[in-house]
């Protein structure tokens, strides 16, 4: 009688799974620089600008006028 092998042939291949990557929580600790916050309301933003002594208009709106020349 002949020997017949039925199998995957991976006897000496080692482990079939890769190492797990570090968890997200350990890789990116929670801090103020990456924590999402709600945007201030229009009234809160205007009150802050008034408190800081700035104009009510956004400075981004005025930047486009220089580029049109």
Residue 36 lies in a domain: yes
Residue 26: Cβ within 10 Å count: 7
Residue 4 lies in a domain: no
In the block, tokens 């990116």 appear at: 28
Q: Tally the domains of the chain.
A: 1
Summarised one tens digit per residue, pLDDT across range 1-33 is 677 777 776 666 666 667 777 666 666 677 777
pTM of the model: 0.32
Exposure string of 32-61, with b = 16+ CB inside 10 Å and e = fewer, is eeeeeeeeeeeeeeeeeeeeeeeeeeeeee
Res 44: pLDDT: 94
Res 41: pLDDT: 95
Q: Which domain holds residue 51?
A: 24-57
Residue 40 lies in a domain: yes
Residue 69 lies in a domain: no
Summarised one tens digit per residue, pLDDT across range 37-60 is 899 999 999 999 999 986 555 555
Residue 53 lies in a domain: yes
Residue 43 lies in a domain: yes
Q: Is the pLDDT of residue 69 over 90?
A: no
Would residue 21 be called left, alpha or beta, if left means φ above 0 and alpha means ψ between -120 and 50 degrees? beta
């Amino acid at each position: 009688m002949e020997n017949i092998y039925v199998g995957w042939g991976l006897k000496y291949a080692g482990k079939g799974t890769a190492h797990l990557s570090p968890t997200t929580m350990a890789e990116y600790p929670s801090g103020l620089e990456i924590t999402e916050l709600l945007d201030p309301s229009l009234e809160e933003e205007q009150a802050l600008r008034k408190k800081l002594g700035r104009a009510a208009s956004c400075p981004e709106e005025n930047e486009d006028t220089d580029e049109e020349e």
